[in-house]
Amino acid sequence: MKPSNEAELAKLVASADGPLHIQGGGTRAIGAPIQGAVLSTTGLSGVSLYEPGALTLVAGAGTPLAEVEATLAAHGQRLAFEPMDYRGMLGTKGASTIGGVVAANVSGPRRIQVGACRDSLLGVRFVDGMGRVLKNGGRVMKNVTGYDLVKLMAGSWGTLGVLTEVSLKVQAMPEAVGCVLVNGLSDVDAVAAMSAALGSPYDVSGAAHAPAGVDGHPVTMIRIEGLEASVAYRAAKLTDLLAKFGGAVLVERDPAKVAAGWAWVRDVALMQGQTGSVWRVSVKPSDGPGLVAQLRAEHPDMLVLYDWGGGLVWVQVPQGTDVRSVSFTGHATLIRGSKKTRATIPVFQPEPLPLAALSKGLRSQFDPRGILNSGLMD
């Protein structure tokens, strides 16, 4: 099913006599296998409003992400939250949609500076599980439902409603970029270095560490963006600040090389084309190295990438491995796994009973029949 407008979508949902598999571009199929008829949002496409001066864009949920980015780039602007491209990781095809990005709250390395996708989301329109059209935010900020639907829909993975339109705030592209590289640090020292950079006044927009970088050696990456003179000044100051951690410090100023390096981090290219399970673990940065050490004791050949200053840890382990079996405080999401692995291990972090009851109550309000991506987040 591929409705071409919101009214048609509402009728399809209202008349559905079984479960529906909500799908945008189909590039982020990470959950448990979903049963039901596929309902595609790709017919709800197009940028309906773009005001560069107001840094505001409104688009149909099925609009390809590439189209949104191209529209913004033509005016020297971009999506601030730097959404990841999952296709290399998951081996999927098709084109990511802006609705899919919002539904999964996809947020890249710049999250440490500007927040997540949901923090750039101004408004939403969607069809709930009863076929009702609801809207919240956008140009009319009055919330008549009692819920902050804008925040609820971001990261709901299509279980509360089918997005039809999203409104986003955007930002200008920087005049210059730079990346301070520190080579050879241990995981513990790298997290300390990233914390020092993020705690400095030098406005860092990316902080990542790869125990095995492109050349196979440890590399810690600190990104800065802005006006040319400011980037040069901050790069010099960060070089001095990070020298005390012991590794060789270099500064990359070539925009193409900086962009390629951060695309490598954003899309977790280290783990593309592999067969192991990939987990996305969110922890307190100082806890990340300890978590990795526990996992390495059992899986010495595992792959690791730290992002968000160490608060996001990507790990690749053998198929069937549940990283939640080790002790840590945080939450873990299974991003890539075999069909068997995804069917036997909860993809999303199991919620504490009070939070699970709240989530169930929300789904019963917006999808009382339980037909939208049923079972995905259970």
> What is the structure's pLDDT at 141?
37
C-alpha of 199 from chain center = 23
Q: Could you report the per-residue pLDDT of 48-57, keeping only the tens digit for each? A: 999 999 999 9
Q: Show the beta-strand stretches assigned E in 170-302.
A: 171-172, 176-183, 204-210, 219-226, 248-252, 277-283
User: With bands split at pLDDT 50, 70 and 90, how would you rate the model's confidence at 120?
Assistant: very high
Kindly state the percentage of the chain with pLDDT values over 70: 96
Q: Could you report the per-residue pLDDT of 103-116, keeping only the tens digit for each? A: 999 999 999 999 99
Q: Could you report the per-residue pLDDT of 160-181, keeping only the tens digit for each? A: 999 999 999 999 999 999 999 9
Report whether pLDDT(351) > 80. Answer: yes
Got the DSSP string for 94-144?
A: S--BHHHHHHTT---TTHHHH--HHHHEEEEEEE-TTS-EEEEETT-----
Report whether pLDDT(146) > 70. Answer: no
Report whether pLDDT(44) > 80. Answer: yes
Pair 40, 24: CB distance under 8 Å: yes
Top pLDDT among 351 and 322 is at 322
Q: Could you report the per-residue pLDDT of 87-102, keeping only the tens digit for each? A: 999 998 889 999 999 9
